[in-house]
Amino acid sequence: MSKKLTRKFTKDYEEVPLFYVTFDLNRYLKDGEKGSCSLSLHPSLRGDEFLEEHLIELVDYIRKNYDMKELVE
């Protein structure tokens, strides 16, 4: 099934996102860091524990070291 999804998402594209992170400022201000970011991996990369672990660390690093309000504006 993942091969079909991969082809569907990548057909006729020259550039394909391998992952993306979304940030919810309202949730961040209301609930704090937990649940304020969501990470999505390309279907072919999902399940790779090494990638997931390091990308989560990267997201945590950005949240702790940058002004999230400034990034959203």
Residue 1 has pLDDT above 60, yes or no: no
State the pLDDT at residue 53: 92
Give the pLDDT confidence of 24-68 residue by residue, as tens digits. Answer: 888 888 888 887 888 888 888 889 999 999 998 998 898 889 887
43 in Cβ contact with 6 (< 8 Å): yes
Query: Domain spans of the chain?
Result: 2-6+16-72
Give the pLDDT confidence of 12-26 residue by residue, as tens digits. Answer: 667 778 888 888 888
Plot region of 49 (φ>0 → left; ψ -120 to 50 → alpha; else → beta): alpha
